[in-house]
């Protein structure tokens, strides 16, 4: 339904977005550019993601959670590279349903997460569209010169780790659609993860110091590990039997009739926004200690071999998954 109280572009910028801008670098959103000072001894790291209504979020999702998801999926990319976020550029394509209250909610979501993650808006654009609401964000971060972790550094003999839990993105979408029969608190936890995932920014420095290769888990754990294998020109194994599940996912899994297929689904579902990375075995104790200090779950899920591609195992035997994750056209 079209909104009746639609604001104009300049009113939206002036009243809602300007308060989010960096006081100096963003120039109060009154210029055509942002101007960033250089940071000696550091590289600038940039990432960009877009989210589309009906594809990455549901048509009835509150826009404050949409704004948070937009910001957080980009912060997850920076965390996987070991970067410290500081700012972002934003493009808003407002649909017919995005009136003033919806735009206020979107800005409020950004403001809350800006405060939580210590970053600022630097600039962007805002337009109306007859299509679905769409938002795009470019996040910027700093990393010490030469220290950004790529997908291409894994070495045979490394171990493969993942933070947090896998599968809550897939189950969260089902929960948000009302497709799960679990206790209400489980459904609420899963839906909250889908709408507002937690980027592992507090673990970025550990990834930077110890990981040989790293990727954020957005397309699906299996697919993203396959990206690492390809970029590093190595083999990567994934043991489905040790896939880390949240309490809510465990409750869902307990009722499955085909445990292998269920784990395949969770490992390929995407939208988890954890960090999967490789590291030398000598660092395992340190990695576990650093994760524990941050109250973060860390699971060893495989190893790197001298082969090529991803090998997925269940009960010690290699399997062929029906699909490994999402691709984007």
119-135 pLDDT, tens per residue? 999 998 899 999 999 99
- Domain assignment of residue 326, yes or no: no
- The predicted pLDDT at position 324 comes to 61
Residue 114 and residue 213 in one domain: no
Question: What is the C-alpha to C-alpha distance for residues 273 and 74, in angstroms, rounded to an integer?
Answer: 10
Same structural domain, 140 and 174: no
Same domain, 196 and 304: yes
Residue that is last in its domain, among 119, 144, 169:
144
Residues 113, 191: one domain?
Answer: no
Question: Cα(284)–Cα(159) distance, rounded to whole angstroms?
Answer: 8
Kindly give, in sequence order, each residue whose CB lies less than 8 Å from that of residue 11, ignoring residues fewer than 6 positions away.
none
Q: Considering its fold, how many domains does the chain have in total?
A: 2
pTM: 0.92
In this structure, the answer to whether residues 126 and 204 fall within a common structural domain is: no
Closest to 261 (Cα-Cα) out of 270, 271, 269, 272? 269
| Residue 257 belongs to domain with CATH number | 3.90.650.10
Write down which residue in 113, 144, 175 finishes a domain: 144
Residues 186 and 267 in one domain: yes
Residue 243 is predicted with a pLDDT of 98
For residue 133, give the CATH number of its domain. 3.30.1330.10
User: Which single residue is written with the structure tokens 């999926």?
Assistant: 73
Is the residue at 312 inside a domain? yes
Q: Are residues 262 and 290 in the same domain?
A: yes
Q: Do residues 98 and 64 lie in contact, with contact meaning Cβ atoms separated by under 8 Å? A: no
- Considering the domain architecture, whether residues 303 and 165 belong to the same structural domain is answered as yes
Residue-by-residue pLDDT tens, the chain, 329 positions: 444 455 667 678 777 777 778 777 777 777 778 888 899 999 999 999 999 999 899 999 999 999 999 999 999 999 999 999 999 999 999 999 899 999 999 999 999 999 999 999 999 889 999 999 999 999 999 999 999 999 999 999 999 999 999 999 999 999 999 999 999 999 999 999 999 999 999 999 999 999 999 999 999 999 999 999 999 999 999 999 999 999 999 999 999 999 999 999 999 999 999 999 999 999 999 999 999 999 999 999 999 999 999 999 999 999 999 866 655 55
Say if 2 falls within a structural domain: no
Same domain, 248 and 271: yes
Supply the range of the domain harboring residue 46: 9-144
Domain end position, chosen among 144, 179, 212 = 144
CA separation for the pair 9, 195 (Å, rounded) = 26
124 and 234 belong to one structural domain: no
Answer yes or no: do 309 and 175 share one domain: yes
Q: Which pLDDT belongs to residue 1?
A: 46
Note whether 223 and 303 are same-domain residues: yes
């Amino acid at each position: 339904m079209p909104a009746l109280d639609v604001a104009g572009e300049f009113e939206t910028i002036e009243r809602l977005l300007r308060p989010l801008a960096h006081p100096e670098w963003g120039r109060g959103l009154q210029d055509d550019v942002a101007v960033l000072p250089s940071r000696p001894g550091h590289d600038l790291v940039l990432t960009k993601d877009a989210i589309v209504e009906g594809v990455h979020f549901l048509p009835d999702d509150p826009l404050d959670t949409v704004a948070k998801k937009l910001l957080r999926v980009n912060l997850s990319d920076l965390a996987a590279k070991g970067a410290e976020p500081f700012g972002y550029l934003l493009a808003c394509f407002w649909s017919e349903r995005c009136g003033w209250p919806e735009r206020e909610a979107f800005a409020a979501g950004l403001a809350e997460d800006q405060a939580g993650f210590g970053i600022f808006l630097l600039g962007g654009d805002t337009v109306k569209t007859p299509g679905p609401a769409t938002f795009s964000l470019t996040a910027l971060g700093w990393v010490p010169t030469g220290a950004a972790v790529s997908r291409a550094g894994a070495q045979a003999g490394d171990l493969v780790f993942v933070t947090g839990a896998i599968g809550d993105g897939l189950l969260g979408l089902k929960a948000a659609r009302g497709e799960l029969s679990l206790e209400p608190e489980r459904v609420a936890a899963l839906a909250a993860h889908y709408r507002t995932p937690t980027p592992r920014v507090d673990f970025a420095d550990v990834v930077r110091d110890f990981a040989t290769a790293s990727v954020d888990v957005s397309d699906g754990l299996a697919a993203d590990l396959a990206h690492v294998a390809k970029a590093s020109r190595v083999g990567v194994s994934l043991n489905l039997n040790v896939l880390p599940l949240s309490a809510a996912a465990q409750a869902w899994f307990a009722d499955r009739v085909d445990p292998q297929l269920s784990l395949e689904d969770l490992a390929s579902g995407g939208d988890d926004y954890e960090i999967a990375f490789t590291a030398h075995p000598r660092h395992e104790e340190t990695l576990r200690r650093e994760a524990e200090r941050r109250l973060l779950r860390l699971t060893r899920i495989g190893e790197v071999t001298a082969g090529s591609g991803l090998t997925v195992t269940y009960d010690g035997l290699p399997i062929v998954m029906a699909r490994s994750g999402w691709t984007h056209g």
